[in-house]
Amino acid sequence: MHPAIFLDRDGVIVENNPNYIRTQEDLAFIPGSLQSLAEMRDSPYKIVVVTNQSAIGRGIISAELAEQINDRVVDEIHRTGGRIDGSYMCPHSPQEACLCRKPEPGLLQQAAVELSIDLRRSVMIGDALSDLLAGQAAGLRRLYLVRTGRGTAQEQLPRPDGLITYQVVDDLSSAWHSILGHV
């Protein structure tokens, strides 16, 4: 069983788009995110992307196009020296009440089964409180909220009842360096 670093995609790796990432041209990587992922490559952690993509469930883009966009993100990470061991996407709208849409833990649990991940030794990095809640619901004990994406606005919200203590950091690089300090 391996520990993992679970990463939200939009707002952590690529710029969050309030109108959804609808085309390949909408993709813009957050400065420093690709370098941070390259630095993680040789770590003992599995590196797993878990992303809500409700634009599919809302009928804004097709599942095929969403997969192509996600594949491009992963390809660019690999091209720049990074590694992604798994990528999981929830295609549902919030109204569908599925178990895979964060803050539900389904994506993390699915990855744990398929990739032999020890959830209790794993870490969640997200730009929204829903990311952290998903991590906690899956049994993760270390949670990071990045200020990129929606993180700065989310940081100002009251902490949801029952959410364990989490660390707020500037970006993916800051989270990675904090994780290294605890390895």
Percent of the chain with pLDDT over 70: 99
| Catalytic choice (8, 127, 131, 171) | 8
Write the CATH number for 75: 3.40.50.1000
For 129, the 3-state DSSP assignment is helix
Host domain of residue 128: 4-180
Catalytic residue among 10, 127, 131, 171: 10
Average pLDDT, the chain: 95
User: What pLDDT does 117 receive?
Assistant: 98
Query: How many structural domains are present in the chain?
Result: 1
pLDDT in tens, 99-115: 999 999 999 999 999 99
Query: Known catalytic residue: 118?
Result: no
